[in-house]
């Protein structure tokens, strides 16, 4: 029988801790297999699965690296369950977010379900006129399970063309995560001024649930290519 992993929503913290302690006593081989399975089911690509904090150069943005490591250790930072990594393309936002996810899974022995989502793809799946769509609502979509995860990464906020409908779906996703206190990391290359142009309720949710981490520096992909 497949092992049931921890579902965070509506589960008392003392129950979660007891389960973690019990399963931590399992053989290393069992724990390793569970970690591998959790990561394979996370939505990360094979290339992304090899990313680790230890392999990153933190000299360009040491503050961002320090905050992300602290979040990976605790599942929160400064009392908030989310990080908003904001900066120009190629500054390492997604790489840091993935490093958080992989470190968190290892620290909890694979007991926490995690999910990596391109926000653009997630929202596009909810369009009522997409091929094969039968006019289901978001409440009937698999995204309703998102807040049960131990960690969620929403990658590339701002890559979907703005509209009232898009903003509404984005709000519903963020609101679900906020209400469930689901640890969440959001990445975006949208300027802070543009974030302020989002609907007020959405902006309020973003900053209520996340600590803003502003990143800069040269596009590391171009830098690596010129090395």
pLDDT tens per residue across span 141-164: 445 677 888 899 999 987 878 888
Q: Express each pLDDT in 88-120 by its tens digit.
A: 999 999 999 999 999 999 998 898 889 999 988
Give the pLDDT score at 168: 86
Q: What is the mean pLDDT of residues 11-16?
A: 64
When pLDDT is averaged across residues 70-97 and rounded to a whole number, the result is: 94
Closest of 191, 221, 183 to residue 80, by C-alpha: 183
**Angle, vertex CA 49, rays to CA 107 and CA 11, nearest 5:** 40
State the Cα–Cα distance between residues 147 and 37, nearest whole angstrom.
Answer: 20
Chain segment 53-73, per-residue pLDDT in tens: 999 999 989 999 999 999 999
Look at residue 164 in the predicted model and tell me its pLDDT: 86
pLDDT of residue 2: 44
Residue whose pair of structure tokens reads 């040269």 in the numeric block: 218
**Report field, pTM of the whole predicted structure over 0.85:** no
Please tell us whether the domain made up of 19-226 is placed in CATH 3.40.50.300.
Answer: yes
Q: How far apart are CA 92 and CA 56, in angstroms?
A: 9
Q: What is the pLDDT of residue 196?
A: 67
pLDDT tens for each residue of 171-211: 888 888 888 888 999 999 887 667 767 778 888 888 899 99
């Amino acid at each position: 029988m497949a092992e049931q992993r921890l579902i965070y929503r509506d589960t008392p913290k003392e129950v979660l801790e007891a389960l973690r302690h019990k399963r931590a006593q399992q053989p290393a081989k069992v724990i390793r297999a569970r970690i591998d399975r959790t990561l394979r089911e996370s939505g990360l690509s094979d290339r992304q699965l090899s990313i680790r904090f230890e392999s990153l150069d933190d000299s360009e943005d040491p503050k961002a690296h320090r905050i992300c490591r602290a979040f990976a250790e605790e599942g929160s930072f400064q009392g908030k369950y989310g990080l908003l990594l904001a900066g120009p393309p190629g500054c390492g936002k997604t790489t840091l977010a993935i490093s958080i996810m992989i470190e968190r899974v290892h620290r909890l022995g694979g007991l926490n379900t995690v999910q990596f989502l391109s926000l653009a793809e997630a929202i596009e799946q909810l369009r009522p006129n997409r091929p094969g769509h039968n006019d289901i609502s978001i409440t009937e979509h698999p995204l309703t399970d998102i807040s049960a995860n131990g960690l969620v990464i929403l990658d590339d906020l701002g890559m979907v063309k703005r509209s009232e409908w898009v903003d509404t779906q984005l709000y519903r996703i963020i609101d679900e995560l906020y209400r469930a206190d689901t640890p969440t990391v959001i990445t975006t290359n949208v300027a802070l001024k543009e974030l302020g142009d989002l609907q007020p309720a959405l902006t309020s949710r973003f900053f209520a649930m996340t600590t803003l981490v502003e990143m800069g520096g040269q596009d590391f992909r171009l830098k690596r290519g010129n090395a």
